[in-house]
Amino acid sequence: MSLLLKQNSSEKSKEKDSNSTSVNLLSNQMNLNKKIDYQKYRSSKKSKSKSHRYESESDCSNASNKPFDRNPPNFPDPRRSHNRRNRVIRNLSTSESESDSLSDFSENELPQRRHSRRINRPAQKCEMDKWKIKFVQGNGIKFLKKVDQLQKAYDYDDDTVLKHFYLLLDGHALEWYWQFSDQFQVSSLSQLKREFSRVFRPRESDMSLISAMYNRKQRQDTFEKFYNDIVDMNFSLKNPLSDRQIIEIIRTNMDDEIRQRMFTFKTRDRIKFFHKANQAFLDVCQMKEKRKNFNEYRQQNRRIHEIDFEDLSQLEIEEITTKLNKLKNDRPERKCYNCHLLIQQVQNSIMEKIRLAYERNEKRYNLRVRKPLWKVGQIVFRRLFPQSSMIKNFNAKFSPKFAKSRIKEILANNRLLLEDLNGKEIGVFHSKDVKT
């Protein structure tokens, strides 16, 4: 019995020693893990404090008043991880096999809490230098529109485009970018785009752009070019017009044939309107081409060449001449209903009367054609125009009708500047009211 008791006591002591050694090993390992976690936390905190920059002085003052954050968002709390390890060890220390298996765990194999944010995001490869666009100076709003389209096509985030935005600039624009980045801390791509569009916006006012939109006609341009010009001018406005207003402007300024085809089409979507109107423009161009070819074909059939007469026989030529002579004989000559003379004779008699009248009074009938021989300083007689109040005066009827004056200057359209004999200007008179 004594031997059995000794054996049992020895076995119990061995079990106690083994459990104590396993617990000691686990505690040592926990202390090491705790030190490692604390060192990592301190290093991450230092790197974060070095890389962090405040955008303005107000941000700095607000940041100084904030309490210290013991739980950084991108790293687990070391105390919680330590407590979690203790709970695991406490649950596994009931049996020796579980404790032995726990001693083989590494730091990464211990259970961790999942985080929604990714700590180490892989760097995105940038190929903005292959976009083949360079902005030097001009309309910056069009350039930003192209950048947005390429950013969507390459699936780049705003941070990547902001970091490599200088690859798309050159000349004056690149100098402005470096000057702006030195003076201000650019925090987002939207801030950079706002300042860029403000500096490189076209200098035209909104009123001039709107008037240019209303005065822009399609004429001989394609509908696509006409549409893009109006949309670009609308995009340059500080307050762009709505799609309904743009459709009304395009509808009033487009070609007449396209407007007739689009008369029954009603929509407020600008893209649908563009596709429908562009298809109508293509149909009109195709119809004009067919019409042109048909007219050319008709003109070719109507042409008469000298070689074509050789194919006609003598009898056919005689037939054609007899038909023409018959048409001439069948058409009676027109006569005047009053004097029963031929129309040609009446015209000749009228021209003869005009010629005789011109010979009798050459000054009156050939005044515009004849070049009057006036000279500066010549003494002439100008017509006197009596006042309306002197018409009833009996003595005014016997007053002189012309007065002596001198030509001071000869003007165009048979006008003369006259002066009296003392050198005082009288006024401008027509040559009909002046006689020698």
Domains of the chain: which residue ranges? 128-200, 206-299, 378-435
Evaluate if residue 118 carries a pLDDT over 50.
no
In sequence order, the 6+-apart residues with CB closer than 8 A to the CB of 9 are: none
Confidence of residue 257 (pLDDT cuts 50, 70, 90): confident
Task: Identify the pLDDT of residue 101.
Answer: 45
Confidence of residue 349 (pLDDT cuts 50, 70, 90): confident
Evaluate if residue 405 carries a pLDDT over 90.
yes
State phi, psi for 380 to the nearest 5 degrees. -135, 175
Q: Which two tokens stand for residue 128?
A: 């903005």
Confidence of residue 117 (pLDDT cuts 50, 70, 90): very low
For the chain, percent of residues with pLDDT exceeding 70: 59
Task: Identify the pLDDT of residue 53.
Answer: 46
Evaluate if residue 95 carries a pLDDT over 50.
no
State the amino acid at position 117 in one-letter form.
Answer: R
Evaluate if residue 385 carries a pLDDT over 70.
yes
For residue 138, give the nearest of 88, 194, 189, 204 by alpha carbon: 204
For residues 290 and 296, give the distance between their C-alpha atoms in angstroms, rounded to a whole number.
10
Q: Which CATH architecture group holds 378-435?
A: Roll (2.30)
Enumerate long-range contacts of 366-375, CB under 8 Å, 24 or more apart: 367/414, 367/431, 367/432, 368/414, 372/414, 372/431, 374/407, 374/410, 374/416, 374/431, 375/407
Do 139 and 102 contact (CB within 8 A), yes or no? no
Q: What is the per-residue pLDDT across 273-323, written as a single tens digit (0 to 9) for each?
A: 999 999 989 888 888 887 777 666 555 555 554 444 455 566 777 787 777
Task: Identify the pLDDT of residue 359.
Answer: 67
Do 428 and 415 contact (CB within 8 A), yes or no? yes
Confidence of residue 167 (pLDDT cuts 50, 70, 90): confident
For residues 426 and 380, give the distance between their C-alpha atoms in angstroms, rounded to a whole number.
13
Evaluate if residue 149 carries a pLDDT over 80.
yes
118-122, 268-272, 381-385: least confidently modelled range:
118-122
Phi and psi based region of residue 132 (left: phi greater than 0; alpha: psi -120 to 50; beta: remaining)? left
Task: Identify the pLDDT of residue 119.
Answer: 42
DSSP collapsed to 3 states, 129-153: HHCCCCECCCCHHHHHHHHHHHHHH
Q: What is the pTM of this model?
A: 0.31
